[in-house]
Amino acid sequence: MTMTTAINVMKKEIQSRERLSALLVILLTLLALSLGWAVKTAVANQTRPFASQGISAEAPAGWLAREGTGELVLLARNPASLDQRYRILLLPGSADLTAVADQRNQNRARLDDTFTVLEQTPIVADGRDGYKVSYALVDAAGGSMPAVIEGADYYFPMSDKVVVVSFEAEQADYAAAFAQFQDFRASVAYEGGGS
C-alpha cells in the first residue's frame, strides 16, 4: 500500500466517523427536544381540583387561585400573565339567562365606561344550555401602557342561581389561551346541570 492510498483510506475513515458523529448528534438533539416537549406538555396540562358552594373545577396547576366571597366562587390567575384569569361566579337569578347577562353587562358598563359587549348568544356547551357573552375593555391600571382585555362569560342555570364561568386575557394572548380555558370551563361541575 502506498502512502497516498493509506492517506485516502484514513481520510475516508475520518469522514465516515464524522458523518456518524454528526448523525448521532442530530439524533440525540431530536430525542432531547422530544423529551423536553413531552415534559413541558405534561407539566402544562396538570390541574388542581377546587370545590366550593356546590361547584367544582380543575384549575391549572401553578396558577394563583383563591376562593372568593359573596358572588365570587373562584378566581385563578396565570402568574406568568396576571391579566389572564378565570372566574367562577354564583349569581342570584332565574332560568332566563339573557336577562341575567344583560343586567350584569349593564352593571359592568356603568362601572367601567370602556366595557363593550362584542357578541352575545345562546349556546349549548358540553350538553348544557347556556348563554355566552364576549366582551372587551381597557385595563389602564395594569401598568404604564393601557391594555385591551378580551373576555368571555358563560352563563349556566343552577337551581335558582346562575353559574358564570369567565375568562379574560390581553387581546394579544386571548386566542392562544382560549383552548386551555375551554378545558377549565368543561371541568366545571355543579348541582342541577353541571357536567
**Taking the mean position of all CA atoms in its chain, how far away is CA 74?**
15
Residue 1 confidence (pLDDT) above 70: no
pLDDT of res. 195:
47
Note the pTM of the prediction, 2 decimals: 0.75
pLDDT of res. 41:
62
Residue 172 in grid coordinates: 394579544
Cα-flanking dihedrals φ and ψ of residue 4, to 5°?
A: -65, -40
Q: What is the pLDDT of residues 78-117, one digit of tens each?
A: 998 888 999 999 998 777 899 999 999 999 999 999 999 9
Kind plus residue range of the DSSP H or E element containing 74: strand 72-78
